[in-house]
Amino acid sequence: MGSFQGKVALVTGGTSGIGRASAVAFAREGAKIVITGRREREGQETVDLIKKAGGEATFIKTDVAKERDVKAMVEETVKTYGRLDYAFNNAGIEGNIAPLVEQSIDNYEAVLGINVKGVFLSMKYEIPEMLKTGGGAIVNMSSVGGLIGFPGMSLYIASKHAVLGLTKSAALEHAKSGIRINSVCPAAIETVMVDRFVGKEGESRQQLAGMHPIGRMGKPEEIASAVLYLCSDGASFITGQSLTVDGGFTAQ
């Protein structure tokens, strides 16, 4: 059985894309999985994928921008499986694409509410449960947008920069208590979020793929591998870091 046998992993935004791939990967390595998100049907589809493969999983409908939802999410995880060892705080949205001066307060609140407040609240309630069992590992979803700027996406970029700051500070607070906290920074990955940005096919999609020196966009499973590595014993001396998985995008 896998390296996470007997452990419990929580994946927010596990209804599709990178979150779904990560939940399946954790289960493949023996962990029991709690998947959360706002879309119940898609969340249950992820659970079904895991169960068909012989794993154990539960879906909890959650809006990570709401504290009561996040508190209940963590409480239900521990009630169901008895503990919490790993968390991948993946839930996020890109928001509206427009110049900064055209951005609305509503879009600001939506993007930062999920991408930043959601990560803050998730760690706020995950960390105390991990402390009860001697530690754990948390991975927060940032982006290459947490490392660079991009026109038309100022709020998304700001939110992903903020995730890196939250990650570093929380990691320092808990470095001696057995909880490692890191982030992943993907470039463009073949998900529905990218589909919304450049379409499912066509010149815009080809141009985006061509921006990566490796010659293509990434796959959700490639980010899942990075997440599992950061949670594994192989990363036992890594905390407060951002792992960039971008096909060379930021090396240019």
Catalytic residues: 156
DSSP run (H or E) holding 114: none
Residue 219, Ramachandran bin (φ over 0: left; ψ between -120 and 50: alpha; else beta): beta
Token couple for 2: 């896998």
CA 11-12-13 angle, 5° bins: 115
Measured CA to CA, the distance from residue 220 to residue 130 in angstroms comes to: 26
Nearest to 14 by CA among 76, 104, 90: 90
Phi, psi of 230 (to 5 degrees): -65, -25
DSSP line for 181-223: EEEEEE-SBSSHHHHHHH-SSSHHHHHHHHTSTTSS-B-HHHH
